[in-house]
Amino acid sequence: MDQVKIFKALSNETRLNIILWLKDPAVNFEPQLHAGVMTDFLGGVCVRSIKKRTGLSQATISNFMAVLEDASLVESRKIDQYTYFRRNEKTLKEIVVWMNCAL
């Protein structure tokens, strides 16, 4: 776990919001096209849905998701031409434990 990389990724308001929205995708995003197929990737949200929620360009969202994935804050799954993301709960729990011990 790279704490500096994680905090840099979360230092952007939109990236932080994406992580918060992904906590409850059913509430924050429209129903997902491949939800029935992704039984082993529950909570996955398509880039298109994230783009729609933020109002930003596809390129910007792709960049933001790459930063979040590089920091291990999200995981991705590709189905056909669609890429889905969900929170990496393992990393999020590790950062909470680290913060509780470090502060």
Q: What is the pLDDT of residues 70-81, one digit of tens each?
A: 999 999 999 889
Residue 102 has pLDDT above 70, yes or no: no
Residue type, 96: V
Cα gap 87→24, rounded to integer Å: 10
Residue 1 has pLDDT above 90, yes or no: no
CATH class of 3-102: mainly alpha
At 9, is the pLDDT very low, low, confident or very high (cuts 50, 70, 90)? very high
pLDDT-above-90 percentage for the chain: 78
Chain centroid to CA 73: 6
What's the number of CA atoms in the CB half-sphere (13 Å) around residue 97? 7
Q: Taking residues 64-70, what's their average pLDDT? A: 98
Q: Could you tell me which residues come within 8 angstroms of residue 6 by beta carbon, excluding any fewer than 6 positions away? A: 71, 72, 73, 91, 95
Q: Which two tokens stand for residue 80?
A: 């056909």
Q: What are 14-17's contacts with CB under 8 Å, separation 24+?
A: 14/54, 14/56, 14/64, 15/64, 15/67, 15/68, 17/54
Question: Which sequence spans correspond to the domains of the chain?
Answer: 3-102
Position 99 scores a pLDDT of: 83
Position 35 scores a pLDDT of: 77
Q: What is the mean pLDDT of the chain?
A: 93
Q: What pTM was computed for the model?
A: 0.91
Position 103 scores a pLDDT of: 63
